[in-house]
Structure 1
Amino acid sequence: MRVALHDVSKGRGGQSLPATSLDFHTGAVRFAIAETEQRPTVLGLIASGRMRPETGRVSIDGAPNARALRRAVALVDAPAVSDPHADIALAGVVGEELMFAGVGATPLHARRWLKNLGFAELASVPVGDVDPSVRVRILCELAILREGVRAIVLVSPDRHGGSPDGWWRIAAEFADRGYAMLVIVGGAAAVALERMRELGAVNATGPVEPLMLEPVADAAPAAASATEDTTENGAVR
């Protein structure tokens, strides 16, 4: 599967997102650099078919099909859109995601799922206090439980702190498992990833191609709105 963005933009004069072209595909992980508070989420929404761009188009396997794109691409941890509230216990986050995946979603099911993943001791921990790499692991594992998901757009994992190599290795592992991976990061994280790659400390399946989105210093952010319903935790489905 290949998802391609062709000269997409959002907001007047591209204030929310300047004209952008990129693609990501099955079995590879790519990172895109998006600076400012809003642009990572806007890029993630467009790349996953949950927001219409002002200009340009998004295609999946060569065809524009927003419905197919939404079914195939999971939008993970996008600020103010699909990120869980920081004070909710991890087991609660897991239970809600299990419900949306159509599997057992009682507190017992959630705790059992965490135990099978090796994180039973974190069930009662607020998700905002979970280690950044563990957070990415859990949210991505939950995302692929949804029927039809073949790709993940992971938004701003660097905002939670920690070293990028942890969550980057996890993204690469999901690519190895056959998913298309797009990770949207800030410039500092991108520099760290490039440095670690030069030193051989990180690797990924297939090409790792950065995309720089230049910030507009005097642009007033436009409100970003999703096209799908949200849960009580703010997650887009």
Structure 2
Amino acid sequence: MRVQLDVVGKAEGKDVLPATTLVFETGRATLGFAETEQRPSVLGLLASGRMRPDSGRVLIDGEVDRAQMRRRIALVDAPDISAPEPNVAVSGVVGEELMFAGRRAGRSRARKWLGRLGMADAARLPVSNLDPARRIRMLCELAVLRGDVEGLVVVSPDRHGGDPRVWWGLGSDFADRGYAVLMIAGEASRLVLGPVTGVGPDVPADPTAELPVEGTAP
């Protein structure tokens, strides 16, 4: 699977998302950039086929097909969209996602699933109390339980704190498992992750340039 955002923008009368170009594809983790509170979620919605751009185009395997994107790409942890409510217990989040994935759900099933993930001790915690690495790993593992999912778009993992190299490593692990992974974060994470991803402070500023490893939203 190859997803291309070709100079996409969202205006709605305001500068919601400036022209942005990026590509993410199967077997590869891609770092996309969007600053401010709203833009990462908007970029995530566009990259997963859940929002139509006002300019530019979004392609999946060379075609415009938002329905196919919604089926094949999971939008993970987007604030106010797909992120779990902060006070819900971890086991409740898991039980709900098991149900959506067509699996047997319920409290005991959720605990067993968490146990297989090595997170049985977190079952009763509010999901907001999970450390960043466990949260991102759990939500991504839940997303790929849905059989049609081939790609993950993870929104603002940096907002939870911690070392960006940890959640980037998790994204890379999912890419190694054969998923297309896009992780959307801010400029500070770009500077930290440069040595890991090959992305550095000299990334081209031209939003129309093809950026095979990351995208820019100036």
**Shift of residue 210, structure 1, vs aligned partner:** 2.8
Flag the 1:194–1:208 CA change in 2: closer, same or farther, 3 A.
Answer: farther
Match of 2:215 among 204, 211, 214: 211
Q: Which amino acid aligns with 2:193?
A: L
- In the TM superposition, residue 211 of structure 1 has moved relative to its aligned partner by 2.2
1:65-214 alignment, distance < 5 Å? 65-196=65-196, 209-214=213-218
**Aligned length, in residue pairs:** 206
- 1:227 corresponds in structure 2 to none
> How far, CA to CA, are the matches of 2:26 and 2:195 in structure 1?
25
Inter-CA distance 209–60: structure 2 relative to 1 (3 Å threshold): same
Determine helix, strand or coil for the equivalent of 2:214: coil
Residue in 2 that maps onto 1:9: 9
Structure 2 distance, partners of 1:76, 1:113, is: 19
TM-score by length of 2: 0.91
CA offsets, 1:70-123, max 9 Å, x none?
011000000111000111110000011111001011111101100011100000
Q: Distance in 2 between matches of 1:10 and 1:107?
A: 41
Q: Which runs of 5+ in 1 are unaligned?
A: 199-206, 215-237
Identity over aligned pairs, percent: 52
Q: Match of 1:211, as an amino acid?
A: G
What's the TM-score once normalised by structure 1's chain length? 0.84
Match of 1:56 in 2: 56
Query: Quick one: distance in 1 between partners of 2:153 and 2:122?
Result: 25
What is the Cα-based RMSD across aligned positions, in Å? 1.5
> Which residue of 2 is the match for residue 222 of structure 1?
none
Detail structure 1 runs of 4+ shifted over 2 Å in the superposition: 195-198
1:137 positional shift: 0.5
Tell whether the 8 Å contact from 2:25 to 2:180 is kept in structure 1 after alignment: yes
